[in-house]
């Protein structure tokens, strides 16, 4: 009847408004908000005539709207999710066997402590002047040996006066506190820049690829840019949200409507690491992705598929032979998984030296690029071995080009337009791009 039709329309309009207001949230966060609202609405619409209304909210039937599920089902869901997450840790470069770490570029590993983790979780990008490039590297410790002792003393005094110190601030009054990081973290970052000059950064197994277009190709040579990338990347934010219960750090959780700080107990292999690799100007067309099934190398694909690859077209047979020997001699004996994917970089002629870039799980979030997962799993691996020729899939024509879609990320969120300040926001974007890409307008 008219009331049921009205409720359907109201439901659709209501969730359209929610979508508009929350367009900056991740899919997971938006899903949780919608489910909470659906449960609340269900509580007030318990009669059996509400199936149409529930369907308008995106539910197939009323059974899907039950607030609770059985303990066995809940345990099964949690276990499956935990197992999938558990499997990811072996792909974190920190946990690679030493034999494989030697195959990649020079790397430094920095364990993320509670202070840095809290900073990454905070809203906004606030960088202490101590860490900014125009501070003449004053964030380093040569001239400030007693700074951290005084800072710790100040924090202890202020904590006694305000239990909520350094957790929340009032945006309207700008009552926020610039965060100072640990002496150990500053020294480790300084050492990385001293040794490597420039670095490529990752958090565990994810790189902030969504910041590549506005930060000179992910090449970082100072702490300010490093912090900006860590805070701006939507890809890294999703990692923090998805695995926050496995980092071994304090997380805020809701227990019986009361938020508490809970210290997670984790396995020794787990944890959040800042991975800083020595920067090299690598040519993307010389990167390949290799697929291993039942410990056999069965397929190879061009890694970046945004352009035609004439090099692989010309030297594909040579590359295939070198990659196969490299895998069976240097990777397969030391990595325990049966099915996985690894990325390689092929060096310049005449040696075409190979470097291990990354190792990823089979399927999951791993992109098969020019191949197809279902077809890969149908391959009979018995006929494959070190002497088996593996054909490299590559982009032959412009029509085969695949553009990686990172449109959901683009520029940092605090640079997005906000109505009446659109002109100011636009100027901010161009100023930032001009600073980091000086040849952009020349």
Q: How many CA atoms lie within 13 A of 76 on its CB side?
A: 5
> Across-strand partners of 109?
275
Q: What whole-number distance in Å separates Cα of residue 98 and Cα of residue 95?
A: 9
The SS3 call for residue 369 is coil
- If you ran DSSP here, which 8-state letter would residue 175 be given? -
Copy the structure tokens of residue 13. 């309009």
Alpha-carbon gap, residue 421 to 414, rounded angstroms: 12
Q: What pLDDT, on a 0 to 100 scale, did the predictor assign at position 40?
A: 59
Lookup: tokens for 60: 């197939």
What DSSP string runs through 370-388? TS-HHHHHHS-GGG-STTS
442 residues of the chain, pLDDT tens digit each: 554 555 556 655 665 565 555 555 554 455 556 555 655 555 454 443 444 444 444 444 333 333 333 444 444 434 444 445 557 889 999 999 999 999 999 999 999 999 999 999 888 888 888 888 764 444 444 444 455 555 566 566 655 554 444 444 444 444 456 889 999 999 999 999 999 999 999 999 999 998 887 766 789 999 999 999 999 999 999 989 888 777 766 654 434 444 444 444 445 567 899 999 999 999 999 999 999 999 999 999 999 998 999 999 999 999 999 999 999 999 999 999 999 999 999 999 898 999 999 999 999 889 999 999 999 999 999 888 888 889 899 999 988 888 876 655 555 555 554 444 555 655 655 565 555 444 433 3
Q: CA-to-CA distance for 231 and 46, rounded, in angstroms?
A: 44
Predicted pLDDT at 140: 44
């Amino acid at each position: 009847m008219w009331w049921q039709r009205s409720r359907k329309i109201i439901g659709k309009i209501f969730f359209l408004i929610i979508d508009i207001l929350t367009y900056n949230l991740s899919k997971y966060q938006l899903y949780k908000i919608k489910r909470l609202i659906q449960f609340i609405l269900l509580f007030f619409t318990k009669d059996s005539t509400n199936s149409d209304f529930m369907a308008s909210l995106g539910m197939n039937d009323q059974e899907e709207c039950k607030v609770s599920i059985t303990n066995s089902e809940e345990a099964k869901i949690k276990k499956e999710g935990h197992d999938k997450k558990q499997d990811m840790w072996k792909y974190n470069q920190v946990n690679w066997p030493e034999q494989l770490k030697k195959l990649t570029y020079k790397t430094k590993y920095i364990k993320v402590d509670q202070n840095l983790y809290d900073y990454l979780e905070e809203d906004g990008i606030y960088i202490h002047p101590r860490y900014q490039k125009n501070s003449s590297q004053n964030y380093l410790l040569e001239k400030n040996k007693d700074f951290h002792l005084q800072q710790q003393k100040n924090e202890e005094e202020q904590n006694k006066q305000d239990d909520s110190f350094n957790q929340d601030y009032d945006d309207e009054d700008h009552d926020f506190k610039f965060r100072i990081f640990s002496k150990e973290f500053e020294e480790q970052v300084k050492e990385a820049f001293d040794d490597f000059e420039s670095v490529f950064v990752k958090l565990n197994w994810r790189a902030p690829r969504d910041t590549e277009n506005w930060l000179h190709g992910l090449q970082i040579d100072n702490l300010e840019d490093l912090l900006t990338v860590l805070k701006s990347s939507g890809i890294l934010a999703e990692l923090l949200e998805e695995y926050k219960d496995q980092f071994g750090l304090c997380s805020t959780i809701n227990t019986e409507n009361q938020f508490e700080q809970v210290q997670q107990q984790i396995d020794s292999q787990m944890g959040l690491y800042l991975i800083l690799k020595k920067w090299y100007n690598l040519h993307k067309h010389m990167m390949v992705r290799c697929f291993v099934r039942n410990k056999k190398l069965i397929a190879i694909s061009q890694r970046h598929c945004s352009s035609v690859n004439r090099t692989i077209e010309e030297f594909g047979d040579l590359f295939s032979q070198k990659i196969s020997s490299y895998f069976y001699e240097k990777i397969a004996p030391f990595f325990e998984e049966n099915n996985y994917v690894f990325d390689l970089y092929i060096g310049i002629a005449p040696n075409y030296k190979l470097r291990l870039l990354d190792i990823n799980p089979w399927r999951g979030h791993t992109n098969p690029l020019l191949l197809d997962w279902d077809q890969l799993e149908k391959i009979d691996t018995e006929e494959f071995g070190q002497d088996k020729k593996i054909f490299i899939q590559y982009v032959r024509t412009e029509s085969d080009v695949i553009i990686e879609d990172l449109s959901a990320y683009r520029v940092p969120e605090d640079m997005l337009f906000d109505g009446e300040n659109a002109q100011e926001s636009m100027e901010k974007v161009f100023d930032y791009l001009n600073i980091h890409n000086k040849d952009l307008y020349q």
